Amino acid sequence: MSDQQILHDRIRAVEWSEAGLKLLDQRLLPMLKQWVTLRDVEGVANAIRDMVVRGAPAIGVTAAYGMVLAGRARYVASPRSWKQDIEADLQTLAQSRPTAVNLFWALERMKVFIATLPEGDPGVALLEEATRIHDEDIAANRRMGALGAELIKSDSVVLTHCNTGSLATGGFGTALGVIRAAYGAGKIRHVYADETRPWLQGARLTAWELVEDEIPVTLIADSAAASLMRQGQVKWVIVGSDRIAANGDVANKIGTYSLAVIARHHGVKFMVVAPTTTVDMNLSSGDQIPIEERAEEEVLSLVGQRIAPQGVRAWNPSFDVTPAALVDAIVTERGVVLAPDVAKMRKMMGG
């Protein structure tokens, strides 16, 4: 890794230690940098559900480490039946967030791996497999960063939504990984970040990551994106995804769909960056992607302080679906799909 890459990649949010699984609590950033140590599968599931950790790839990595904790505990409790008993832990983790397909991919991989293990303590082997998942995610992000950066012309200004960086992945990031790689190559001169209501991932997390890694960033309200694009500065909107359907429809943080519509109107290119673990070829279109609806209070309040009048209701879908027709490029570690459709997605995924 070059010195320039190291300069713009210094953050990790998921770490394993002998004391347990350590997560950087993203609910507290940027005001407080605090780590949470988890020692059992229930704690991991709660951390995913409560958004201590968030971002589809990071959730998958976290779930894999959760299975390490589960396997160790189940083996101590019942060495002969631990493989059967751990099924309950798989279900506990699977129910923590319904939209992020990486969660289910990681759990299925750990389940298949568990079936191959011989008799004896599985702790070391499970940790090795979870670590492989983590390392593979970082390697995939670096590959996507390089591929996505090739699409960007020099002296570009880009806009991103939500958080898709090291905090949302095993490390380096998906959409933010492309931004890191392109900035390091001298292709991006400035980044605009949507604040991303209601959890403010753009304001609290993306802006924090870019400042930490010394990449120039300006924060805007979500509703300011159209006016910004009208000025003609923004060349690319670059976002991540929590699930991509077989036809190239993309589920991502609420507000992504409106950005795609606005970008198309203003002639701004729209790039989605996500690992192939996010692609769900079992779903023919985005209409079949389950959309998580979260508590009304997240919209009605801000940082624990109610901002709306008593009696008003709130609608709080966590994600929306952007049709493939509005996507100029899907970037994965396996390659780039321009103007995605079913045939191109199948080819990229290997049939």
Question: 217-220 and 188-194: which strand pairing?
Answer: parallel
Return the DSSP state at 293: B
Q: Are 89 and 43 in contact (CB under 8 A)?
A: no
Q: Which residues of 128-151 are buried (b: 16+ CB within 10 A; e: fewer)?
A: ebbeebbeebbebbbbbbbbbbeb
> What CA–CA distance (Å, rounded) separates 152 from 307?
40
Angle, nearest 10°, between helix axes 56-77 and 41-49?
Answer: 160
- For residue 326, give Cα distances in angstroms to 297, 316, 337: 32, 23, 13
**Catalytic pick from 242, 249, 320, 328?**
242
Instruction: Report how far Cα 221 is from the mean position of its chain's Cα atoms.
Output: 21
- Identify the CA nearest to 174 among candidates 238, 101, 84: 238
Q: How large is the greatest C-alpha to C-alpha distance in the chain, in angstroms?
A: 66
The C-alpha atoms of residue 9 and residue 172 are separated, in whole angstroms, by: 6
242 among known catalytic residues: yes
Catalogue the active-site residues.
242
